[in-house]
Amino acid sequence: MKKIAGTFLLLPLLVAIVLGLSGFDTINGRIVSDFRLQDTDGKLVSLADYPKAKGFIIVFTCNHCPFAKLYFQRLNELNKKYQPLGVPVIAVCSSDTVNFDGDAFPRMKDKSRKEQFSYPYLCDRGQHVARNFAAQKTPHAFVIWKENGQWVVKYNGAIDDNGMDPEKVTQSYVANATDELLHGQEVVVKQVRSIGCQIGFR
């Protein structure tokens, strides 16, 4: 009987460990730090450069990932819609360029020019920003919002529910979260598992 009772006492601990390892320990509500990274235009960009911003759509992406490639133009569309409303898009490449030389800065510049990015594409050489955000995949989107002078994560994960065909998207997670925040509402869907290439941290 004592053995059974002990097992029941251990169950909550085991569940907590499993959930934490499985990625259920959401980072939403986390305060993230400002950063300053080089854009493909050669200038340094930080959140502080946007003093009127209410929030940001930060997307960790890269050149080489097939899934990330599906979203570059959709990011243009998000930026076109939300930048005038005070929520700009910023893309960040945090790849290990030793293993993926296609993500090196000169290649980033080529990609930005070829795809005509309307948003900054920043190079996170030291991977410090990806670690700060706990980014995992490419693409991995974050909607952050300004609260009491600090940037708070309100949504993180997939951009929408159909990478292959934008015409068949039924859930636009990033857009929905941004709209809710702009209307002063709580974000309903706070986290959706992102799909794409794993960010390899050095």
CATH of the domain at 34: 3.40.30.10
3 within a domain of the structure (yes/no):
no
CA atoms within 13 A on the CB side of 54: 13
26: pLDDT confidence band, cut at 50, 70 and 90? Answer: low
Residue 164 is given by DSSP the state S
139 within a domain of the structure (yes/no):
yes
202: pLDDT confidence band, cut at 50, 70 and 90? Answer: confident
The full length of the chain comes to 202
What's residue 24's pLDDT? 37
For residue 180, give the amino acid letter.
Answer: E
10 within a domain of the structure (yes/no):
no
How many domains does the chain contain in total?
1
> Above 60 in pLDDT, residue 10?
no
Question: Which domain does 51 fall in, by range?
Answer: 27-198
Give the distance between the most distant pair of CA atoms in the chain. Answer: 69
Please state the rounded mean pLDDT for residues 163-180. 97
The candidate with the shortest Cα–Cα distance to 111, out of 99, 98, 123, is 123
31 within a domain of the structure (yes/no):
yes
What's residue 6's pLDDT? 42
Please state the rounded mean pLDDT for residues 44-56. 98
| Torsion sign, CA atoms 57, 114, 39, 139 | positive
C-alpha distances out from residue 169 to 35, 61, 111, 175, Å: 32, 20, 25, 12
Q: Give DSSP secondary structure letters for 8-34.
A: HHHHHHHHHHHHHHTT-S--TT-EE--
Cis peptide before 120 (omega within 30 of 0): no
Structure tokens at 73: 């133009």
178 within a domain of the structure (yes/no):
yes
Start-to-end CA span in the chain (Å): 49
pLDDT per position as a tens digit, 87-129: 999 999 999 888 899 999 999 999 999 999 999 999 999 999 9
54 within a domain of the structure (yes/no):
yes
What's residue 193's pLDDT? 93
> Above 50 in pLDDT, residue 48?
yes
14 within a domain of the structure (yes/no):
no
pLDDT per position as a tens digit, 124-162: 999 999 999 999 999 999 999 999 999 999 999 999 999
The burial class, CB within 10 Å (0-12 / 13-18 / 19+), for 1 is exposed
From CA 28, how far away is CA 50, in angstroms rounded?
22
The residue ranking higher by pLDDT, 17 or 10, is 10
Instruction: Name, in order, each residue with C-beta under 8 angstroms of 45's C-beta and a sequence gap of 6 or more.
Output: 36, 37, 38, 39, 90, 120, 122
> Above 50 in pLDDT, residue 16?
no
28: pLDDT confidence band, cut at 50, 70 and 90? Answer: confident
148 within a domain of the structure (yes/no):
yes
